[in-house]
Each structure stands twice: as structure tokens, then as C-alpha cells.
Chain A
Amino acid sequence: MSQPPASLDQVLERPETEVLVRARGLTKTFGSFTAVDGIDFDLYRGEAFGFLGPNGAGKSSTMRMIGCVSPPTSGELSILGRDPVRDGSAIRARLGVVPQEDTLDVELTVRENLLVYGRYFGLPRRVIRERTAALLEFVQLADRAGDKVDPLSGGLKRRLTIARSLVNEPEILILDEPTTGLDPQARHVVWDRLFRLKQHGVTLILTTHYMDEAEQLCDRLVVMDHGRFAAAGSPRDLIARYCSPEVLELRFDPALHDVAADKLKDFSAERTEVLADRILLYVPDGDAALAAVRAGGLEPLTSLVRRGTLEDVFLRLTGRRLED
């Protein structure tokens, strides 16, 4: 079992609020493969908590355990104060789940999808009808209520999945990569709706490998890699802790890339990352650093000065890029 990093202890010391999900040494193995390797966390009511990491980091396995559809191999897990193995059905009645891949019935209409789902939760038809109207309004699909799902775009399907996940008025909404595969505009609509849900007091748990998504939505997040937490904190904390204020991105002629990388090793950056196509210099002042690089006789094809992001944090912590 991995010990939580010291920073996690700080995160855990929050003012007394209700813990909705509590995990200690939570582990999931499939045969000899360890997907989740002894993680500890507490999720509080009303917050948006993110699991950030590349594919295969153990995010989805963790989500499935919280969603009570995958029994933990070992460790403790309690959701809404209950045991997910013994009380899975009762816990799931109070959860909403937006899975990574939509599970909508594309042969049915938008409205019928909510009806079927509402019946799973044992809601009376009248209640489902009322909630359907409000939820479709909320995800801006009211005018498509009678349409079949099949021809809807990916963005609209995602919004329908979100509406469907809310039909039981869940206390916790679990979202596994809610905007993967959507175009930028559709992503922004989804983020806006999720943000509103948070304002309404719904606790959000989400996984993502998009740093901007995590920055937009999450109050707190953990960076996950190889089934463990590499770091935990608010997006701002993490960037402050693991990244310089500015990042200078340099792109050289491919023929000169290695030579430039070699020379820049001696450059007085806080840290240098040599990627396949770019060189990143972590510095306090990007413009000053660029001037210094040029003064040293190196002329990049393109250069970009930007602020540090969670992507840089991830690179620093794991040595790999998020979307690889």
C-alpha cells in the first residue's frame, strides 16, 4: 500500500463537513494486474472532486468501485456511510452515473430513455414526466424530447446521458470522462451544465485526462498514475507546488532539435523537459528566458510563453504527457 503524499494530509484536514465517500487502502486487482493500488481519500458533500490521469491510470476502476458495480479487492470503501458490496442497490439509488461510453437506447426517443431509466429507480410515471420536462430543459434538449436518439450528435447524446443520470435526483454524480470525444463547443456546454449542478449542491466526482476540464470544474483533484495518487490538491495549489510561474515552449528545426536540447541543458531554467517535438523551459519569466536563449545563439522556429498548467504538473510528476 502506498502512503499518501504529505500534501494529501493537508488536503484531508478540512473543516468538518459531511464525508460522502471514504476510502482507505482501496485496491483493485484483475488477475496479476493492479489497477488501483491502495489509495486513500475522502470526498465531501457539495464539492467537485477530480481524478486526473492518463488512460490506464486506474481512474475508471476507481469510479466503478464508487459506483458499486465493482467490488474492491481489498481496503475500505464506504459510500454515503454504507458498504458498497452489501448495500450496493441502496447506494446506487442515490447515485447518478455518466459512463465513459453512452449507454442510451438509440432506438428509443429522448423522452423514452428517461422513462426507462426512471422506472429502474422505481419512480412513478407522473414523477418521471415532471422531471423529464425539467431535466430536458436543463440540458437544453426540450425541443428534441420526441426525437429518436440515434441521429443526435455526440454532444447532444452526452447531455441526454447527463439528464438521464439526474432522473433520481442523485446526491453524488459520477462522471467518467464526461467530455471525451466531444468538440470544443459541445465540451463548453457540458462544463457549463456541470458547473450549474455543482451550484445546486450536487457532489461531483469526475475523471478526466483533460487538464482544462479539471481546472474548470474541480475544487480538488488527485493526479493518478499507475493506480496511485502522485499528488493531491486544488488545481491552483498543484500548479504552484509543482510548476514554475511561466513555461517557455520552444520548437526547433527537427535537424537541430537534439543539439538545441543539449545546449539548453546548461540553461538556468528551474527545469527542462525535452519532448519529441518541443522543448519546455520552466522559468519565472518566459520573455526574459526567450531573450537569453536567443542571446546564447539558438534561434527557435516558434516560441510560446504561457502559464504553468496541470499538464506540466503531470509531466513533472510522472515524466509522461497526459494524453499519450
Chain B
Amino acid sequence: MAASLALPSSVRPWSLSFRAFQCWLTVYRRIWRSSIWSSVLGPVCYLGALGFGLGTLVDKHSTASLGGVSYLAFVAPAILASGAMNTAMGEASYPVFGSLKWNRIYIGAQASPLRPADIFRGHLMFMVMRLAMNCAVVVLVMWAFGAIRSPWVVLAYPAAVLTGLAFAAPIAAWAVTVKVETSFTYIFRFVMMPLMLFSGTFFPLSQLPAGLRALAEAMPLWHGVALCRAFSLGTAAGDPAGMLGHAVYLAVLAAVGIWAGARTYRRRLYV
């Protein structure tokens, strides 16, 4: 039993993160079926109600302010981007908190060679996998509803995953510091919901007064929506600099979250 173990001095940092990711895969294998159904149901309901229900009404009037496309084609990429935000919030809030307080996965992992930053990055890898899965489902549902206008949509998919990561990384970095779980309710209510409603998702930002519009354009979800919409409608090629701007904004937010998470996890776990 007391056999000496080789020290993992040759281990690359990311391989430690990958070990933490594998733990999440094992856990996920137990629940993936039910999680798939709920990720299909969401976009089907949204596109059904908004695209067909509300859309029929909107399309009877002029759709010039939508860029001349049907309401379904207008709203679908926004559902993709905001769905990524919601997946990120779902995966980065309670699961992170619970890994400290409920099933204590982090505490167990902490006693292994994994460092707090590895535990964070491994969990984040899993969140990206969930984002990739859910966004793929939404793109398929969009296609089934005939809501896609351009083959550029293949870039809307990574754009949506990037949008999700831009939320998941900072939220996880913050969630690990949360002491009481009611904090998450406030974020859902006072951050996620306004972002979902006012980020050019259900109506173009041109409908908003100038001040509110500037505020909305500073928010991360608007950049995700704008990027996904431009690729789905095929208008991206007309504004490459704008597209790059959106992508850089989201990438910076993700990078800040990844940087901060390594620190907040360390402070929280290594006391």
C-alpha cells in the first residue's frame, strides 16, 4: 500500500483541468437523456410561439425595420444567442455553488493533485460542452422551422457558443464566492431577464430611445445577438469590422472570466 508514486512534475497544466472535466462527463452520463429533452423543448416553444404566433401578426405589417425578413428569421438567431446565455447561467450558477455546498465535488477534487484553477477550468470545459450541445440543438430547430436565411449560419453556431462562454466564465468566477444561493435569483431577475428583453432579441434596438439603446449596445448579449443574427441572415459580409468588434468584445469578456475564475476559486478553496 505504501508504494511510492511518481510525482506529476511532467504533467501539463491543462491535462489536470481535463481530469476535472472527465469527472463532469461521468456525472453527466447519468442525466444526459433528460437534459437533451429540456434543451429541445425550449427553442421549439420559443420559435413556435414567437415565430409562428407573434410572427404572423408582425409580418402582416411592414418588416422593414427587421431588415425586410420574416419575424421568425429575425428572432431565431436571437433565441440562439439568448439561449446560450441562459444555458451559461444555468450551468455556472447553482452547479458551481452546489459543488461547494451540496454534493461537494470541488471539496473532493481538492484533495487530489488538482489545483483550484484546474477545478475551475475543468468545470468550464464541461460548460462549454453543454453550450455546444444546446446551441447545436437550437440551430437544428431553427433549420427545421425554416428560420435560417444563409449558409453563414455555420458561423452563428460558434458565435453562440462564444456568447455562452462570455457569460459562463465570469458567472462561475463569481458563483464560487457566493455565500447564499438567493443571490442567483437576483441575477436571474435583475440581470438576465432585462438582457434577454432589451438586447435586440425580440425587437430591433432602433425601436428604443437613444439613451436606452446605447445602454443595450454596451451589454454583452446584444453583441452575441448581433453576431448570430448577421450570420443567420447572411448580412455579416457587409460589416466585417462590426463582426470582429462583437467577437472581440465577447472574447475579452470570456478571457476576463477565465482569468478571474482561477483567482476566485483559489481564494475560496485554498483557505
Asked whether B114 lies within 8 Å of A120 as measured between CB atoms, the reply is yes
Provide the bound-state CA to CA distance between A29 and B50, in Å: 57
Asked whether B2 lies within 8 Å of A171 as measured between CB atoms, the reply is yes
| 1/0 contact string of B77-110 vs chain A (CB within 8 Å) | 0000000000000000000000000011101111
Closest A residue by C-beta to B22: A119
Asked whether B7 lies within 8 Å of A97 as measured between CB atoms, the reply is no
- In the assembled complex, how far is the CB of residue B16 from the closest CB belonging to chain A, in whole angstroms? 7
Asked whether A108 lies within 8 Å of B30 as measured between CB atoms, the reply is yes
Asked whether A116 lies within 8 Å of B23 as measured between CB atoms, the reply is yes
Find residues 109-149 in chain B having any chain A CB closer than 8 Å to their own CB. 109-115
Does A179 interact with chain B (Cβ within 8 Å)? no
- In the assembled complex, how far is the CB of residue B10 from the closest CB belonging to chain A, in whole angstroms? 11
Contact A197 B114, CB 8 Å, known A107-B103, A108-B30 = no
- In the assembled complex, how far is the CB of residue A291 from the closest CB belonging to chain B, in whole angstroms? 52
Asked whether B1 lies within 8 Å of A166 as measured between CB atoms, the reply is yes
| 1/0 contact string of A63-95 vs chain B (CB within 8 Å) | 000010111000000000000000011101111
Q: Which residues does chain B contribute within 8 Å of A103, judged by CB atoms?
A: 103-105, 107-108, 111
Closest A residue by C-beta to B110: A69
Does A200 interact with chain B (Cβ within 8 Å)? yes
Asked whether A99 lies within 8 Å of B103 as measured between CB atoms, the reply is no
Asked whether A120 lies within 8 Å of B5 as measured between CB atoms, the reply is no
Interface of A is mostly: loop
Does B269 interact with chain A (Cβ within 8 Å)? yes
- In the assembled complex, how far is the CB of residue B39 from the closest CB belonging to chain A, in whole angstroms? 20
Asked whether B2 lies within 8 Å of A202 as measured between CB atoms, the reply is yes
- In the assembled complex, how far is the CB of residue B126 from the closest CB belonging to chain A, in whole angstroms? 13
Asked whether B113 lies within 8 Å of A70 as measured between CB atoms, the reply is no
Provide the bound-state CA to CA distance between A90 and B114, in Å: 9
Does B19 interact with chain A (Cβ within 8 Å)? yes
Q: Which residues does chain A contribute within 8 Å of B180, judged by CB atoms?
A: none
Contact A117 B269, CB 8 Å, known A90-B113, A107-B103 = no
Provide the bound-state CA to CA distance between A308 and B15, in Å: 54
Q: Which residues does chain B contribute within 8 Å of A67, judged by CB atoms?
A: 111
| 1/0 contact string of B1-39 vs chain A (CB within 8 Å) | 111110111010001100110110011001100000000
| 1/0 contact string of B25-61 vs chain A (CB within 8 Å) | 0110011000000000000000000000000000000
Asked whether B11 lies within 8 Å of A201 as measured between CB atoms, the reply is no
Q: Which residues does chain B contribute within 8 Å of A166, judged by CB atoms?
A: 1
- In the assembled complex, how far is the CB of residue B121 from the closest CB belonging to chain A, in whole angstroms? 14
- In the assembled complex, how far is the CB of residue B20 from the closest CB belonging to chain A, in whole angstroms? 7
Interface centre among A88, A112, A122 (most CB of B within 10 A): A122
Closest B residue by C-beta to A203: B2
Asked whether B105 lies within 8 Å of A105 as measured between CB atoms, the reply is yes
| 1/0 contact string of A268-304 vs chain B (CB within 8 Å) | 0000000000000000000000000000000000000
Asked whether A169 lies within 8 Å of B113 as measured between CB atoms, the reply is no
Q: Which residues does chain A contribute within 8 Å of B270, judged by CB atoms?
A: 69-71
- In the assembled complex, how far is the CB of residue B4 from the closest CB belonging to chain A, in whole angstroms? 7
Does B64 interact with chain A (Cβ within 8 Å)? no
Q: Which residues does chain B contribute within 8 Å of A152, judged by CB atoms?
A: none
Provide the bound-state CA to CA distance between A201 and B1, in Å: 7
- In the assembled complex, how far is the CB of residue B101 from the closest CB belonging to chain A, in whole angstroms? 11
Does A115 interact with chain B (Cβ within 8 Å)? yes
Find residues 26-49 in chain A having any chain B CB closer than 8 Å to their own CB. 30, 45-46
Find residues 160-180 in chain A having any chain B CB closer than 8 Å to their own CB. 165-166, 168-169, 171
Closest A residue by C-beta to B23: A116
Q: Which residues does chain A contribute within 8 Å of B103, judged by CB atoms?
A: 103, 105-107
Closest A residue by C-beta to B7: A90
Provide the bound-state CA to CA distance between A197 and B2, in Å: 9
Provide the bound-state CA to CA distance between A140 and B11, in Å: 34
Closest B residue by C-beta to A94: B5
- In the assembled complex, how far is the CB of residue B175 from the closest CB belonging to chain A, in whole angstroms? 19
Q: Which residues does chain A contribute within 8 Å of B109, judged by CB atoms?
A: 120
Asked whether A93 lies within 8 Å of B105 as measured between CB atoms, the reply is no
Does B191 interact with chain A (Cβ within 8 Å)? no
Asked whether A122 lies within 8 Å of B8 as measured between CB atoms, the reply is yes
Does A101 interact with chain B (Cβ within 8 Å)? yes
Provide the bound-state CA to CA distance between A104 and B26, in Å: 13
Closest B residue by C-beta to A98: B111
Q: Which residues does chain A contribute within 8 Å of B30, judged by CB atoms?
A: 107-108
Q: Which residues does chain B contribute within 8 Å of A89, judged by CB atoms?
A: 8, 16, 113-115
Does B241 interact with chain A (Cβ within 8 Å)? no
Provide the bound-state CA to CA distance between A91 and B22, in Å: 22
Provide the bound-state CA to CA distance between A101 and B15, in Å: 28
- In the assembled complex, how far is the CB of residue B42 from the closest CB belonging to chain A, in whole angstroms? 24
Provide the bound-state CA to CA distance between A294 and B129, in Å: 78
Sample of 15 further A-B pairs with CB below 8 A, known A69-B111, A116-B27 = A46-B2, A71-B270, A89-B8, A90-B9, A93-B113, A94-B7, A105-B27, A107-B31, A107-B103, A119-B19, A122-B8, A169-B3, A171-B2, A197-B1, A202-B2
Give the top 7 A-B pairs by smallest Cβ distance, nearest first.
A103-B108, A120-B112, A97-B111, A200-B1, A201-B2, A103-B104, A90-B7
Binding site for A on B (CB under 8 A): 1-5, 7-9, 11, 15-16, 19-20, 22-23, 26-27, 30-31, 103-105, 107-115, 269-271
Q: List 17 A-B contacts (CB under 8 A).
A: A69-B110, A70-B271, A89-B16, A90-B7, A92-B111, A93-B113, A94-B5, A94-B7, A103-B104, A103-B108, A105-B27, A119-B26, A121-B112, A165-B111, A168-B112, A169-B1, A200-B1
